[in-house]
Chain A
């Protein structure tokens, strides 16, 4: 959230797509989620009049706000409180719980993603990419850090292998 001009909020949007019902947001102010008292789940808000509603902050970013929305946001169930966006607010999609795992298929081993939308409770399983073999997906705990090693195999000819190490750290 960059600035508020009357009822219009100017923001940098990194939203990528509108091909699904994704209007579920937590609004962060500093280290805290606004209007959250610490018990239960934080309040979920939905934006209105987001335009454009599929803006990408990666490509062709020029250093100015790239989207507008109404400064007034309402609770997603439309029965509870409203909130007026303020400069510095960070608006983030309510997260998904994510489980990554390797699974044997008729086409060899694939990396699967099982995700649960914490806003709607819906669950979804997706094939992400073909693994080189079962040993190509390894997870290591290193203190506060999770290290994941993955080896992917392309489906092109000739086959290419892509190895990735990724660290998720506190």
Chain B
């Protein structure tokens, strides 16, 4: 008789959750119990918290694996299609035992190809353009180990057309519309109140991000504008410099200032005093032009540009700070392991390859980051993705066949972000995140595809981490909270 009574109570609990689900609630249920002086109740509370903690750890990570530690046992099991994870979490404390179960989707990440807190305008969907929650051949929808996400998440409510649930695999063309094998479009109103900086970075907001960048790259910021280097070891005030081979030369003839890179000591040796410097500020007026160059270290000036066919391939990473503008407008330029900081950018070139680095445009809307990728251009590569951060006007378009590999992050200080103009085959592989509540527009055209590629994010993190840069945190695929099924059941012994 006792057994029947207990079973009935559990059915009642189950009914509660079924009702919640039919209301469209992929919901979480939090149970709180007040404080009880009775010893067994206190034990129960501790056991429940242990079960909760273990369950939430799995849900937060999105990784379907079990775990066992003092007072906690977690069993996790996937279905053969790798669609869902069933988690069984047991908390124990001095004879009290609480078990909680949950089901969460493995293929619906809490990322998306394009994530906007506020997207003012979405147009161009329906031609040959697409935003896709996966990529191909890497992070493909056919691979059970891929991290598949919605195509688009916005904080404000849109009613986009062209929603497609499909698994397309042609690496050259993944279709048209908002495409994913999970929900292609998600409206998450909590994004309007959520700072997305911590989605990528070891920082919770823009100020912390700037602090983090400053510590990692020794860049001095003033309201986001790169103003120079932190504690420069050598300061000059010159007009024109050329970086070529392993030297930076300013001026001409016998009076020229020449800095020669020592790849072993990772310092420049100055011809006028024979001393070693790793951080050099060439001054407010310096125009520095890069040709083929192998030097690293920290270099600051006013404007920085790259000559045609320049191959900047430093032996250790190179930090460039331009107070005004960085210009990459010549063709056939290669830049790697270079971390660029400037107010303005003009990137408009063919056959440009930038691998493993940062393009940072700062100044809370006072500058411009114009990226017009032309034929053959690769901003970031598959193996060496790039991180683009901007709190200035940012315009991304293209003419010709081109790719961006990596993460594009738009800060909350940004006032204008447009992506999509131009013609040709253009693909962004990685993620695009706009933390800005200001003017954000997507206007797709041609064969423009924004594809979510979690592997690219992982490599971006790994590459930065290998340089001992603690800028990003390790990306976690995670589980979409919008699609969480929870059935919570408890037993007390």
Residues of A that sit less than 8 Å from B by CB:
1-4, 12, 14, 16-17, 19, 26, 28, 30-31, 57-59, 61-64, 86-88, 90, 92-98, 113, 115, 118, 128, 160, 162-170
Contact = CB atoms under 8 A, between A and B. Distances in A.
A61 B487 CA distance: 15
Contacts of B80: 2-4, 87
B33 A165 contact: yes
Contacts of B7: 16-17, 19
Contacts of B94: none
A145 B105 CA distance: 23
Contact of B84 (A17, A90, A170): A90
A16 B12 CA distance: 11
Given A63-B66, A165-B33, A98 B77 contact: no
Smallest CB-CB A-B distances: 4 pairs: A88-B83, A95-B18, A87-B81, A3-B80
Given A96-B18, A166-B32, A169-B29, A87 B75 contact: no
A94 to B, nearest CB: 8
B19 A95 contact: yes
B339 interface: no
Interface of B: 4, 7-8, 10-12, 14-16, 18-22, 25-34, 36, 38, 66, 75-84, 86, 88, 99, 101, 103, 105, 108, 182-183, 483, 485, 487, 489, 491
Given A19-B7, A88-B79, 4 more contacts: A16-B7, A31-B183, A57-B88, A170-B27
Contacts of B14: 14, 16, 93
Q: Identify whether the interface residues of A are mostly helix, strand, loop, or mixed.
A: loop
Contacts of B25: 170
A96 B79 contact: no
A57 B18 CA distance: 16
Contact of B38 (A58, A59, A86, A160): A160
Nearest to A20: B11
A95 B33 contact: no
B318 to A, nearest CB: 47
Nearest to A118: B22
Contacts of B84: 88, 90
A159 B76 CA distance: 41
A151 to B, nearest CB: 9
B491 A14 contact: no
B12 A128 contact: yes
Given A88-B84, A164-B33, A3 B21 contact: no
A14 B15 contact: no
A91 to B, nearest CB: 11
Nearest to A88: B83
Contacts of A96: 15, 18-19
A87 B28 CA distance: 24
Given A165-B32, A165-B33, A59 B103 contact: no
A154 to B, nearest CB: 11
A58 B51 CA distance: 13
Contacts of B78: 2
A64 B79 CA distance: 10
A169 B101 contact: no
Given A58-B491, A61-B75, A87-B81, A169 B19 contact: no
A28 B22 CA distance: 11
A115 B183 CA distance: 33
Nearest to A26: B22
B486 to A, nearest CB: 11
Contacts of B16: 98, 168
Given A87-B80, A165-B33, A30 B183 contact: yes
B79 A87 contact: yes
B483 A31 contact: yes
B183 A14 contact: no
Contacts of A97: 19
B77 A12 contact: yes
A115 B15 contact: yes
A8 B313 CA distance: 60
A167 B32 CA distance: 8
Given A87-B83, A88-B81, A96-B18, A63 B88 contact: yes
B257 to A, nearest CB: 64
Nearest to A12: B86
